């Protein structure tokens, strides 16, 4: 008997945690935390497994190091302390940095009163988890045969998923007597190459079960956008800004999008499309992550193995407020690539945005996902519709809001495949059953309708959190 149960919410992009019980062996695929909900409410519900006394977690497999896939790992280990945790080598290096960093941040935010919830784990607990990590190269099968109640032999293999550094899809091959069973978990994926990494390279089917992400399932614009066009638009935007002696703020997520942007700007400088001496300012966690990109360039797929993020000259963003203000009000153009990507309050990008908004020379260019109602989305909407004269990005200090004088634009550089490409994944893996996860309901429904239409032999299931699905 093979069962699946979603421990996290499946109807939105929240903490991913998919549990498979394969003939007695418990495998948790990802252990995420909802990035939009602080505290216990944003955790997957590990207690759901307690209703099934035989359903422990023997192994956790982490598809990649984004918070919505790893953020609850130390909490999971309190429920299942004997679980061993498998991932790729780059993901392991990222985890060694990101989980203790997350503990520090939770503590700080709680202390400062930004977050009403006490930290869910300590830095020490995050560091201790590392003793349970095992890392594997791509396309190299490893055994999951030491489950406490194991009755079948299981092998797992990682395949490059393109999405971000270290991201993989996982093939699980199970043998129980005469019965053979194959399941594939896509994680987050991009079939298309990005600036540093080539696109996903998944195996051929058939598989019995495909657990598939559906992030862009309800996004028709994503199908119509080409990377080339977005790159051209961004380049043009930067050129126009520096011509009027303005600076560019690119709010970007520390893992993935930042390094992509640095790579692009480096390429444009090399091609003489941007001045060689145009400074790029970077800061904080993002610099540590860039270092991991460089250290793993021979052990994870690259478009150009020789490319190094730090070979592109970057200046450290000044720590002092006075120096930073001076840079922004000065005559010297620069590009600021800093977090958060959504302009959350008390972050560097938020602080710089407040300085830039009133100055018509400057530009703020969003290059990643901006969730509705976050400060980034508020600014974008106000700038695009020009419905509001003023935007309140800092209600505490400037309740009356600020007039938008700078240029604000959005560019699409997704690390996710669009919905047509997700259908190609179904085509390649030829699943008997598809479980659609990691997407809003609207996205999963579009995917379900289209899979049923194009692949009528495939059964489509939209799992609900906490409801077990018998998969074989």
Give me the residues that bind Zn ion (CB under 5 A), please: 66, 68, 188
Nearer to Zn ion, 314 or 418 (CB): 418
Nearer to Zn ion, 66 or 182 (CB): 66
Q: At what angle do helices 321-329 and 348-356 cross, to 10 degrees?
A: 40
Nearer to Zn ion, 33 or 347 (CB): 33
Nearer to Zn ion, 290 or 414 (CB): 414
Least distance in angstroms from the C-beta of 5 to Zn ion: 19
Nearer to Zn ion, 34 or 188 (CB): 188
With contact defined as beta carbons under 8 Å apart, do 291 and 262 qualify?
Answer: no
With contact defined as beta carbons under 8 Å apart, do 310 and 294 qualify?
Answer: yes
Least distance in angstroms from the C-beta of 66 to Zn ion: 4
Calpha distance 185→166 (Å, rounded): 15
User: Cβ neighbours of residue 415 under 8 Å, at least 6 residues apart?
Assistant: 162, 163, 164, 188, 190, 194, 256, 257
Q: In degrees rounded to 5, what are phi and psi of residue 316?
A: -75, 130
Nearer to Zn ion, 66 or 444 (CB): 66
Least distance in angstroms from the C-beta of 242 to Zn ion: 32
Least distance in angstroms from the C-beta of 164 to Zn ion: 6
Calpha distance 384→377 (Å, rounded): 10
Least distance in angstroms from the C-beta of 438 to Zn ion: 6
Please say whether the dihedral angle defined by the alpha carbons of residues 3, 6, 141 and 213, taken in this order, is positive or negative. Answer: positive
Strands (E), 137-223: 142-143, 153-160, 168-176, 179-185, 207-213
Least distance in angstroms from the C-beta of 151 to Zn ion: 32
Assess whether the previous peptide bond of 206 is cis (omega < 30° from 0).
yes
User: Cβ neighbours of residue 193 under 8 Å, at least 6 residues apart?
Assistant: 162, 199, 303
Least distance in angstroms from the C-beta of 195 to Zn ion: 17
Nearer to Zn ion, 66 or 355 (CB): 66
């Amino acid at each position: 008997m093979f069962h699946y149960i979603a421990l996290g919410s499946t109807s939105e992009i929240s903490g991913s945690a998919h549990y498979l019980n394969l003939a007695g062996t418990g495998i948790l695929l990802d252990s995420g935390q909802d990035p939009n909900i602080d505290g216990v409410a944003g955790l997957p519900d590990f207690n759901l497994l307690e209703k099934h006394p035989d359903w422990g977690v023997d192994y956790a497999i982490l598809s990649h190091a984004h918070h919505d896939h790893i953020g609850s790992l130390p909490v999971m280990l309190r429920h299942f302390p004997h679980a061993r945790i498998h991932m790729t080598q780059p993901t392991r290096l990222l985890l060694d940095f990101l989980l203790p960093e997350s503990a520090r941040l939770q503590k700080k935010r709680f202390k400062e009163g930004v977050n009403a919830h006490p930290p869910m784990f300590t830095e020490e607990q995050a560091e201790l988890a590392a003793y349970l990590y095992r890392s594997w190269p791509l396309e190299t099968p490893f055994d999951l045969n030491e489950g406490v109640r194991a009755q079948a032999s299981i092998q797992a293999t990682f395949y490059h998923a393109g999405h971000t550094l270290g991201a993989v899809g996982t093939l699980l091959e199970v043998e129980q007597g005469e019965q053979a069973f194959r399941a594939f978990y896509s994680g987050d994926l991009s079939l298309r190459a990005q600036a540093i990494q080539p696109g996903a390279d998944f195996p051929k089917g058939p598989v019995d079960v495909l657990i598939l992400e559906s992030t862009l399932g309800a996004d028709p614009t994503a199908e119509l956008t080409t990377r080339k066009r977005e790159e051209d638009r961004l380049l043009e935007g930067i050129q126009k800004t520096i011509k009027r002696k303005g600076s560019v703020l690119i709010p970007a997520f520390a893992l993935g999008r930042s390094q992509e942007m640095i790579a692009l700007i480096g390429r444009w400088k090399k091609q003489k499309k941007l001045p060689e001496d145009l400074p790029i300012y970077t800061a904080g966690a993002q610099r540590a992550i860039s270092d991991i990109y460089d250290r793993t360039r021979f052990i994870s797929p690259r478009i150009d193995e020789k490319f190094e993020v730090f070979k592109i000259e970057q200046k450290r963003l000044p720590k002092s407020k006075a120096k930073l203000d001076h840079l922004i009000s000065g005559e010297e153009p620069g590009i600021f690539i800093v977090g958060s990507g959504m302009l959350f309050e008390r972050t560097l990008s938020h602080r710089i945005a407040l300085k830039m908004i009133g100055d018509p020379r400057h530009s703020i260019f969003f290059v990643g996902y901006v969730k509705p109602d976050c400060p980034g989305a508020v600014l974008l909407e106000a700038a695009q519709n020009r419905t509001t004269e003023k935007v309140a990005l800092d209600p505490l200090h400037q309740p009356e809001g600020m007039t938008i004088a700078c240029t604000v634009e959005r560019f699409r550089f997704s690390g996710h495949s669009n919905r047509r490409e997700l259908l190609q994944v179904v085509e390649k893996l030829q699943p008997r059953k598809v479980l659609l996860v990691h997407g809003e309901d609207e996205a999963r429904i579009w995917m379900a309708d289209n899979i049923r239409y194009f692949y009528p032999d495939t059964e489509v299931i939209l799992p609900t959190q906490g409801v077990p699905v018998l998969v074989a």
